[in-house]
Amino acid sequence: MKAYDAPCKRRDFLKKLGLLSGIAAGSVAVPGLPGFGPPGPGPSGSALAQAGSEGSFRPQDAALKEALFYKKHAEMEVECELCPKNCKVGDIERGYCGVRENRSGVYYSLVYARPCAVHVDPIEKKPLFHFLPGTSAFSIGTAGCNMDCKFCQNWEMSQARPEQTRNYLLEPRELVQNARQTNSASIAFTYSEPAVVAFEYMLDSAREGNKENVRTVMISNGYINREPMLEALKHLGAVKIDLKAFTEKYYKEICDATLKPVLDVLLLLAKSGVWYEIVYLVLPTLNDSDSELTSMSRWVKRELGPDVPLHFSRFYPTYKMKRLPQTPNSTLERARNIARSAGLNYVYIGNVPGHEGESTYCPACDRPVIRRAGYSILERNISNGKCVQCGQKIPGIWR
Amino acid sequence: MVVVARKKRGSDASVSFYADLLQASLKRLTGAGKAEDAWARFFAPDDIVAVKVNSITGRRLSTSPALVTAIARGLRSCGVPEHNIIVWDRMTWELEKAGFAVNFAREAPLCFGTDAPSVGYESSPTELGAVGSCFSRIVTQHATALINVPVLREHALAGVSIALKNYYGAIHNPNKYHSDGCSPFVADVSTHPDIRGKTRLNICDAVKVQFHGGPGYKPKRVSHFGGILVSTDPVALDTVGTHEIDKLRKSNGLRTLREEGRYPAYLSIASDERHALGVSDRSRIDVINMELA
Ligand code: SF4
């Protein structure tokens, strides 16, 4: 693996990573990526301040990867069919996500093998609670996103263009090697919206990973068209979808996107057999009404079934939402109660370390099958995917 | 007032060619008898003047470095020292590709992109209407005055890309603002207090005009115009520029932007009460056509 602007020796990198990977909680940041570090996956400094100090990223220097899922039109225009934005892009222009560029009528990804954030995270941080719990996920993120959520915690990378972030050069095969050498059970495409905007990279990495039994997980906003999603599902180990709210108004005003395609993706997932979980970030007064939470929970139960894990996460003021207070515990607890009353079996509370809502409870005997605090697992009462106390099958991918 | 200055012959796009056009336009615009007095109406010797060019299309259809040299001479004539002039755009490599001499030293006008070391964007976004962007620190922190030097170009999504849209090069996320004909976004960007307050002149390089197929360079859709457009009002300049593009479209057998439903809506938005960036009603714009020998 090479840092795009500041090469570091791979062996040094792995050595440091190996030393650090014993830390149980939180991310392990990759040395040599200043500005990207704990406590969260997002950059702690300003990624937008300038490009790497050793020289600016020149997109024309990158080994470009031709994009998948696009159409060519007259006058060298292209139409991207990857996500519901369906951008029409003229020559020398980019799509909405800022990481796909039309060069003389051919559409290219500018972030193939160029993550700007690389960490080893607990899989619980994604969060995926029913997928290989207690394992590490080799987690990468690239610049770019096909939404513009006003509350984005990682906006300095998600709303940046690849020339505004410091990027590593990490080819799919090398990515898999790094995952294996850090004892990571999976590779997570995460942090911004790499799942959609770095689609080609994710697919090639998943193919490589599957050869080595390293599974790829897609941490996504679910704003992707049907055909590419079906293609991705052939290769993915698990998916986490951010369901931002349950109204078109919220999607339009807060995220610059639409709800319907996300629901369609969830319906596809329900039929696919690929493990998936849902996160709902609760924003006080904007998506936390009883009626919205009830409609959403009932829809999940009816269309997806009672066993889909649903995580209600706490919001912290940031980016363009600095005036809203953080979500009170009571709101998260109310949301959890509503979802449980609607018949959902696995409803969690996120971003509140130590809360009882972080643990998995057996829907039959109500005892904890996995007790968690933050990203750590304190107790496991599950064996072969069953509650050790009553034998109830707990859905998920347990090994 | 918008001055459209053209040369009948000798449009070799040299520094002296542009200097002649600039002098004539600025004298007409200000009523000053001498060019240096005209420059002095806009700039003082202690100003730090950032000249925003458009370099996205490489050498083929970017702001001409010769025009920028002529502008720098004009600034020097009113006492602005060379090292107080910054020629800039989004990316340093784009400037180089367009033929500008990148310069971080202090002996000549400085020339670099927002991506240059120690420059960058503001660390948090400024929200202006529908736009939320981090602005180049050249605009917000380095410059005391701005000169906007776009090219005259049709744009498939925006309708046209002239003076107002040139400031998309001042924000970190222009890709977010190309839907709905770039409206109202183009107008919103220019309401940034530093853009509104510091832009003293708009000088459009119209030696060549791309009347269709922009922003990418399409040689068959480029016509010789042989002039510049100058105004203190970016909306009026864009309105007049759009009219010129439409005239070329018609004479080349194409429908006008309005007939195609692509007339830039952001022009009238830019002139509404909230934006108040200039005049978009052509009948209210004083257009001065000058043809130099
Ligand atoms: S993936 Fe990017 S370029 Fe493609 S449609 Fe979505 S936002 Fe547009």
What confidence tens digit (pLDDT) does each residue in B63-105 have?
A: 999 999 999 999 999 999 999 999 999 999 999 999 999 999 8
| CA B5 – CA B32 distance, rounded (Å) | 17
- Identify whether residues A252 and A170 lie together within a single domain: yes
Cβ neighbours for B28, distance < 8 A, ≥ 6 positions apart: B3, B5, B288, B290
State the CATH number of the domain containing residue B130. 3.40.50.11440
What confidence tens digit (pLDDT) does each residue in A172-181 have?
A: 999 999 999 9
- Identify whether residues A222 and A364 lie together within a single domain: no
- Identify whether residues A221 and A240 lie together within a single domain: yes
Number of domains in chain A: 2
What confidence tens digit (pLDDT) does each residue in A172-219 have?
A: 999 999 999 999 999 999 998 877 889 999 999 999 999 999 999 999
pLDDT band at B111 (very low <50, low <70, confident <90, very high): very high
- Identify whether residues A260 and A138 lie together within a single domain: yes
- Amino acid at the residue A269: L
- Identify whether residues A299 and A365 lie together within a single domain: no
Give residue B293's pLDDT: 82
Q: Do B116 and A94 touch (CB under 8 A)?
A: no
Q: Where does ligand 1 bind, in terms of residues with CB under 6 Å?
A: A 80, 82-83, 85-87, 95-97, 100, 146, 196-197
Q: Do B115 and A96 touch (CB under 8 A)?
A: no
For B22, the domain range is 2-292
Residue A236 and residue A206 in contact, taking contact as beta carbons nearer than 8 Å: yes
Between the CA of B220 and the centroid of ligand 1 the distance, in Å, is 29
Q: Would you say the C-alpha torsion B258, B263, B265, B268 has a positive or negative sign?
A: negative
Number of domains in chain B: 1
> Which residue among A87, A107, A262 has the greatest number of ligand 1 atoms within 8 angstroms of its CB, and so is best to mutate?
A87
> For residue B45, is the peptide bond before it cis, meaning its omega torsion is within 30 degrees of 0?
no
CA count, 13 A, side-chain hemisphere, B283: 0
Scan for tokens 């395609």, then name that residue: A261
CA–chain centroid gap for B73, Å, is: 18
Among A243, A252, A254, A248, which residue's Cα sits nearest to residue A285?
A: A254
Atom of ligand 1 nearest to the CA of A98: 2
* Res B227 pLDDT > 90: yes
> In residues, how long is chain B?
293
Atom of ligand 1 nearest to the CA of A197: 1
Residue A369 and residue A387 in contact, taking contact as beta carbons nearer than 8 Å: yes
How far apart, in Å, are the Cα atoms of B239 and each of A101, A335, B52, B200, B263?
29, 53, 20, 18, 10
- Identify whether residues A202 and A142 lie together within a single domain: yes
What confidence tens digit (pLDDT) does each residue in B155-191 have?
A: 999 999 999 999 999 999 999 999 999 999 999 999 9
| CA A80 – CA B26 distance, rounded (Å) | 45
Task: Check residue B82 and give left, alpha or beta (phi > 0: left; psi -120 to 50: alpha).
Answer: alpha
- Identify whether residues A154 and A180 lie together within a single domain: yes
Averaged pLDDT for residues B39-53:
98
> Which residue among A142, A146, A148 has the greatest number of ligand 1 atoms within 8 angstroms of its CB, and so is best to mutate?
A146
- Identify whether residues A227 and A367 lie together within a single domain: no
| CA A137 – CA B150 distance, rounded (Å) | 48
Cβ neighbours for B149, distance < 8 A, ≥ 6 positions apart: B51, B52, B53, B54, B63, B67, B68, B71, B166, B202, B203, B204, B205
- Considering only CB atoms, A56 lies closest to which of B92, B118, B132, namely B92
- Identify whether residues A389 and A336 lie together within a single domain: no
- Identify whether residues A224 and A372 lie together within a single domain: no
- Identify whether residues A310 and A380 lie together within a single domain: no
Give residue A16's pLDDT: 36
Give residue A21's pLDDT: 30
Between the CA of A220 and the centroid of ligand 1 the distance, in Å, is 14
Atom of ligand 1 nearest to the CA of A100: 3
Q: What is the pLDDT along chain A (399 residues), one digit of tens a residue?
A: 554 433 333 333 333 333 223 223 366 654 433 333 222 223 333 334 333 333 344 555 556 899 999 999 998 999 999 999 999 999 999 999 999 999 999 999 999 999 999 999 999 999 999 999 999 999 999 999 999 999 999 999 999 999 999 999 999 999 999 999 999 999 999 998 877 889 999 999 999 999 999 999 999 999 999 999 999 999 999 999 999 999 999 999 999 999 999 999 999 999 999 999 999 999 999 999 999 999 999 999 999 999 999 999 999 999 999 999 999 999 999 999 999 999 999 999 999 999 999 999 999 999 999 999 999 999 999 999 999 999 999 999 998
For A399, the domain range is 359-399
Residue A274 domain flag: yes
Give residue A42's pLDDT: 33
State the CATH number of the domain containing residue A209. 3.20.20.70
| CA A277 – CA A117 distance, rounded (Å) | 23
- Residue/partner pairs of A364-372 with CB below 8 Å, 24 or more apart: A364/A390, A364/A392, A365/A389, A365/A390, A365/A392, A369/A394, A370/A129, A370/A133, A372/A124, A372/A129
The ipTM estimated for the assembled molecules is 0.89
| CA A159 – CA B124 distance, rounded (Å) | 11
Residues in B touching A91 (Cβ below 8 Å): 213, 215-218
Between the CA of A228 and the centroid of ligand 1 the distance, in Å, is 12
